[in-house]
Amino acid sequence: MTLGLALEALLGVLQGAAVFALAPLFTGVMRKVKARTQKRVGASVLQPYYDLLKLVKKDEVVSENASWVFRAAPWVVCVSTLTAALFVPVFLPFSPLSVAGDVLVVLGLFALARFFTMLAGIDAGSPFGGIGTSREMMFSSLVEPGIFLTVFVVSLTLGGTNLTSLIEASARSGAALVPSMIFGLIAFLLIVMAETGRIPFDNPATHLELTMVHEAMLLEFSGRSLALMEWAQSTKQLVLFGLLVNIFVPLGMPDSPDAGLLALGAGAVAVLLKVGALAAGVAFIETRVAKWRVFRLIDLLSLAVASGMVAMVFHYL
């Protein structure tokens, strides 16, 4: 069965909407797993939706020192993240917009969102925002080399940088089992943990000035702006988790958009299960690992860069 262009476009738009809609759910799943692991009942997995709805209804309090950058940052971050989600095949093996941009465009959109988040962190004049921004800049200088090394390894192994082609090639060839992809998986997993602000890099549940990174840049936000920032962060997390499981663990994913609606639906269910298992695993690890000191995290990020370099060496052996 061959899907028409109109149907592919419709499925691609629905995929992006599903990513944006389901992102808070996986955040709720992670919180629930952490609570159960810590012998607590915990809130419902739907609690992030309730929190976002509550924030949307609240008034915003903006510092008198803030400029238009602070007010525009939540919208830029949210739109950039949503646009990146439209380029990435998360639940399906294709995205119609992937012909207009590849993995480098997605990384650029995430970098744009990070840039405006850091600008907003220092624009309000808060000392906590300055601390969080300086730490985020330090981490970014080490995360980005690891990202590009991993992208190079995956692109060389699977061919090209188009995300639809990469995921189809991974599902078709089983190349995720070669040594270069295994080391690429280690690097990418560490990078995802850093990019999503998970322990040991950051703790999204704390507001201690000695440990905050991403949360420190959000302290001045409130109301609708904070809801947009939180939703964008959950969306970014789901997109990165989806990329990880689709490229490195392509089990159940059809190797072509022409596989038929039934196969595409089964693939989407498989991705949901894999992302859910990954989210639960990350949450479980967070209850067993302490938050690392800021300057010790450099060693962990250096490990991601080293894993990417080793993967590159294995590719050429």
Q: What tens digit of pLDDT does each residue of 106-164 get?
A: 888 999 999 999 998 888 888 888 888 888 888 888 888 888 888 888 888 888 788 88
Q: Would you say residue 1 has pLDDT above 50?
A: no
Percent of the chain with pLDDT over 90: 24
Q: Which residue has the higher pLDDT, 252 or 238?
A: 238
Q: DSSP readout, 9-74?
A: HHHHHHHHHHHHHHHHHHHHHHHHHHHHHTT-----TTHHHHHHHHHHHSPP---TT--HHHHHHH
Q: At 236, is the pLDDT very low, low, confident or very high (cuts 50, 70, 90)?
A: very high
Q: Give the pLDDT mean for 36-60.
A: 90
The conformation of residue 291, written as its DSSP 8-state character, comes to P
User: What's the chain's Rg over C-alpha atoms?
Assistant: 19
The pLDDT value given to residue 207: 65
Please check the confidence at residue 97 and state whether its pLDDT lies above 80: no
**Mean pLDDT, the chain, as a whole number?**
85
- How many domains, in total, are found in the chain? 1
Q: What is the mean pLDDT of residues 219-246?
A: 91
Domain carrying residue 56: 5-316
pLDDT digits (tens, 9 = 90+) for 248-298: 888 878 777 667 778 888 888 888 999 999 999 988 888 888 777 777 888
CA distances from 166 to 127, 154, 156, 182, 304 (A): 43, 8, 10, 16, 21
Residue 117 tokens read as: 């988040």
The H-assigned helical ranges of the chain are 5-37, 47-57, 68-87, 103-123, 127-158, 163-173, 179-195, 214-218, 223-248, 261-286, 297-316
